[in-house]
Amino acid sequence: MSVHPTINLDSLQEIVERHGYNKNKLIAILQDIQAVYHYLPAEALKTLSRLLKIPLIDIISVATFYRAFSLTPKGRHVATVCMGTACHVRGAPKILEEFERQLNIRRGETTEDGEWSLETVACLGCCAIGPVVVVDGDYHAHTSIRKVPTILGKYRK
Amino acid sequence: MKKIKKFKNLEELKKAIDQQEASRKREKKKIIVVSSGTCGQARGSLKVIDALKKAIREEGLKDQVAIRITGCHGFCEAEPNIIIYPDRIFYQKLTPPDVRTIVKETLVEGRVVEKFLHRDPLTRERAWYENEIPFYQKQKRIVLGDNVFVDPTSLLEYLAIGGFRPFIKAVTKMKPDEIIQTVKQSGLRGRGGAGFPTGVKWEATRRAAGNPKYIICNGDEGDPGAYMDRSVLEGNPYRVLEGMMIGALAIGAREGYLYVRDEYPLAVRHVTMAIDHLYQAGLLGDNILGTDFSFDLHIAKGAGAFVCGEETALIASIEGRVGEPRQRPPFPAQKGLWRKPTCINNVETWANVPLIILNGADWFSSIGTSGSKGTKIFSLVGKINNTGLVEVPMGITLREIIYDIGGGIPDGKAFKAVQTGGPSGGCLPASMLDQIIDYESLTAAGSIMGSGGMIVMDEKTCMVDVAKYFLNFLRDESCGKCISCREGTQRMWEIVSAITEGQGKPGDLELLEELALATKEASMCGLGQTAANPVLSTLRYFRDEYEAHIYEKRCPAGVCKSLIRYAVIPEKCTGCEACKRACPTGAIQGTRKDVHLILYDKCIKCGACLEACRFEAIEAQRDEAITIVKEVKP
């Protein structure tokens, strides 16, 4: 089972060209690659190392330093629970636990069927309407433990 | 995207501003302003806009009513909301069917619909007009106020509020040194946290040897609980860009970067659009409007690293490297981006610049206290009635913000603390409510101004849990370069975690204080130097709560899971079965109309029953089992 597109070296080349083969644009290039695959495939990074003439280890060090990058594939749906301070005092940890129970995975993991990934984020800056959960880019405001199954249900066929 | 007319010279731009201003004054149409920032959209503003358009079309009002879609106005609690101009009638928390009613009753028949008006949480009084709402009355919205008047995707709308007049003034009438002097005299200080005088930074960059020079806008708003920069970038991106252009003119920079968090997709979109518009209009690029000022502006997107808010780490990130801070000096003003002189300011700082240039240093310095001038935007969030962004003059008290503007604490609970300054700041207790707010007094109280997060906590918030929360955040976000920060935050987190789990022991608090000092003294960057503030401030003001956890194995606020259990209060339970349905493990027994019972061996303490109960019949109690263990094994 694979829900991810296979690595297309042409599109990779295109991304690097768009950034003028500029080593200083490494973060922006990685962001563009991740936008295509929803993670950073090892093969793509190896090719990138060749194209930009940067040692692979340096690419990996950047890719693992920044939270936004993932070296493992993501599920078809991604649920991100905001763990900001305002969400925290309004019960975000309990919301996260409920997602963990409902999906039967821990934060940072992906379900075996590749349907769901569960992520956390330090703060989404929507503090007034917390606790906030984002699923596939849709913001869900004022979430509660009871709303979690409803939110998941919207994306389950 | 609509093609934007290119201005050939300053005269043409001036004419366009005059025209836009005049046509806005002549405007006879009613204008419905819809607040539609990220919060508004999350609450359904886009559906409200669709419904509004449809209703206006159906009522045949297209020629009499215009819609302006704007960024956030700050009153996030009331989203989605609209303001109907010229009367400024304010309707809040709207759904698409509500909008139909409003169009019929207010626009067609001229009646105000009471039920959609704002009602003050304390007095229960309804406010008809935006300016009558207590939330707005004590604010001074010099930066945020214009969000109401500007469609952030339209350069012409920005011109209609006099946008780019400050730039024209700076480029035609002021020498670079004069601009710097004006900013210095205004007393503007960095709004990102540290409060360094902006004009001094500009002067240092201008005087520094080395070319080219760069300017950077720091939009890496990483403090959890703070989102004023997001709102400014989303709601009025042109003002920030204009500030940067004036800064570039003063410093002698030809190129600038706007570093913005990737977690803010709408802000990224609006800023990208605004930069494109400025290029199309000839306001960015070579020889802008026929002058000898050239300026290029790029966007760099962050990739989720809190430490990148630190200026040297941010520079490393723009250069495509791992965002680790480096030793200062040399300061970025001497050696910054690509080791060239670089001036970094925060979003809110840049947004203040055009206002200072236009209205003068005296105008700006007339607002605020002796050491802190102007206004500051705070995000007032957490356990507070009127959540949202508030822009207040420096020198206002915490009490005024929390009670007069914020409307107090919800559900009749008691105020416990307010956390300012994010992970570098601290928690201030009720005894500090009459504290005035400026850079110096917040620091003296053991917190900091920071970027402006203000998280209100009530009696149900555990301060030890809050300290654990920030330590967890910091140990996660520490870049790991300094051992004092990397290991210090980790070790403090371990100790505080143990305390919340009932494993605290005598001597823990002293050890925490020692570690806090070491982390503060031995770390290189701001993140490490301030990492102990949440612990130190909670120890300073809420030591009794730590002690209750350690010596009595008790969490007074009923938050720390290991020290509590949920119980049903028989007198309050109506037997409605709501908790029973909510319980994921079947730990609640009871039949309809009978008092329910929680089975402790099945309960996982998820809190679903507490949330589901409408009668406050579920209570977090001290876990007796732990007390017994303690008595047996002292």
Q: Which chain A residue has the Cα nearest residue B75? A: A128
Note whether residue B192 is domain-resident: yes
| Same structural domain, B113 and B48 | yes
Which class for B614: exposed (0-12), middle (13-18), buried (19 or more C-beta within 10 A)?
exposed
* Residue B330: Cβ within 10 Å count: 14
Contact A123 B388 (CB under 8 A): no
Q: Which chain A residue has the Cα nearest residue B454? A: A86
Instruction: Report the pLDDT averaged over residues B83-101.
Output: 94
Q: Are B467 and B499 in contact (CB under 8 A)?
A: no
Note whether residue B595 is domain-resident: yes
| Same structural domain, B199 and B346 | yes
pLDDT at A1: 37
Residue B193 has pLDDT above 90, yes or no: no
Q: What is the pLDDT of residues B146-173, one digit of tens each?
A: 999 999 999 999 999 999 999 999 999 9
In percent, how much of chain B has pLDDT > 70?
98
Domain boundary among B487, B518, B551: B551
| Same structural domain, B400 and B515 | no
* B158/chain A closest Cα distance in angstroms: 25
Best probe of the B interface among A21, A24, A27, by most B CBs < 10 A, is A27
Q: Which chain B residue has the Cα nearest residue A59? A: B321
Note whether residue B141 is domain-resident: no
In percent, how much of chain B has pLDDT > 90?
87
Instruction: Report the pLDDT averaged over residues B516-539.
Output: 95
A139 touches chain B (CB under 8 A): yes
Residue B631 banded pLDDT, cuts 50, 70, 90? low
| Same structural domain, B508 and B430 | no
Whole-number Å distance between alpha carbons of B144 and B231 = 8
pLDDT at A11: 86
Whole-number Å distance between alpha carbons of A128 and B274 = 26
pLDDT at B209: 95
Q: What is the pLDDT of residues A105-142, one digit of tens each?
A: 999 999 999 999 999 998 998 888 889 999 999 999 99
pLDDT at A8: 76
Residue B518 has pLDDT above 80, yes or no: yes
Span of B306-315, B429-438, B614-623 with lowest mean pLDDT: B614-623
* B204/chain A closest Cα distance in angstroms: 26
pLDDT at B76: 87
| Same structural domain, B498 and B449 | no
Closest CB to A24 among B38, B320, B388 = B320
Instruction: Report the pLDDT averaged over residues B511-531.
Output: 95
pLDDT at A2: 42
Domain ranges of chain A: 9-65, 77-155
Residue B474 has pLDDT above 90, yes or no: yes
| Same structural domain, B248 and B383 | no
Instruction: Report the pLDDT averaged over residues A10-30.
Output: 94
Instruction: Report the pLDDT averaged over residues B100-109.
Output: 94
Residue B625 has pLDDT above 70, yes or no: no
Give B-chain residues touching A128 at CB under 8 angstroms: 39, 76-77, 79, 379, 381, 387-389
Note whether residue B518 is domain-resident: yes
Note whether residue B9 is domain-resident: no
Give B-chain residues touching A98 at CB under 8 angstroms: 584, 606, 608
Domain boundary among B495, B522, B551: B551
Closest CB to A125 among B41, B221, B473 = B221
Residue B198 has pLDDT above 80, yes or no: yes
Q: What is the pLDDT of residues B284-322, one digit of tens each?
A: 999 999 999 999 999 999 998 999 999 999 999 999 999
Closest CB to B303 among A66, A124, A140 = A66
| Same structural domain, B201 and B255 | yes
Structure token pair of residue B573? 């339970």
CATH of the domain at B267: 3.40.50.11540
Q: Directed axis angle between helix B543-551 and helix B463-477, to 10°?
A: 100
Instruction: Report the pLDDT averaged over residues A35-44.
Output: 92
Q: Phi and psi of B167, rounded to 5°?
A: -65, -45
| Same structural domain, B66 and B201 | no
Residue B2 has pLDDT above 90, yes or no: no
Helices (H), B174-227: 176-186, 198-207
Contact A128 B76 (CB under 8 A): yes
Contact B320 A27 (CB under 8 A): yes
A77-155 maps to CATH 3.40.30.10: yes
Domain boundary among B551, B577, B608: B551
Number of structural domains (chain B) is 5
A89 touches chain B (CB under 8 A): yes
CATH of the domain at B526: 1.20.1440.230
Mean pLDDT of all residues in chain B?
93
Whole-number Å distance between alpha carbons of B557 and B412 = 15
Domain that holds residue B542: 463-551
Q: How many contacts does A have with B, using Cβ atoms within 8 A?
A: 162
Q: Are B189 and B195 in contact (CB under 8 A)?
A: yes
Which class for B588: exposed (0-12), middle (13-18), buried (19 or more C-beta within 10 A)?
buried
Q: Distances in Å between the alpha carbon of B592 and those of B570, B571, B576, B577, B602?
A: 14, 15, 6, 6, 21
Residue B131 banded pLDDT, cuts 50, 70, 90? confident
Instruction: Report the pLDDT averaged over residues B325-354.
Output: 96
Q: Are B207 and B252 in contact (CB under 8 A)?
A: no
Note whether residue B241 is domain-resident: yes
| Same structural domain, B439 and B522 | no
pLDDT at A4: 53
| Same structural domain, B324 and B183 | yes
Beta bridge partners of B68: B33
Instruction: Report the pLDDT averaged over residues B102-121.
Output: 92
Residue B237 banded pLDDT, cuts 50, 70, 90? very high
Q: Which residue has the higher pLDDT, B280 or B623?
A: B280
Closest CB to A127 among B225, B301, B608 = B225
From the list B447, B442, B456, the residue with the least C-alpha distance to B394 is B442
Instruction: Report the pLDDT averaged over residues B444-451.
Output: 88
pLDDT at A5: 57
A98 touches chain B (CB under 8 A): yes
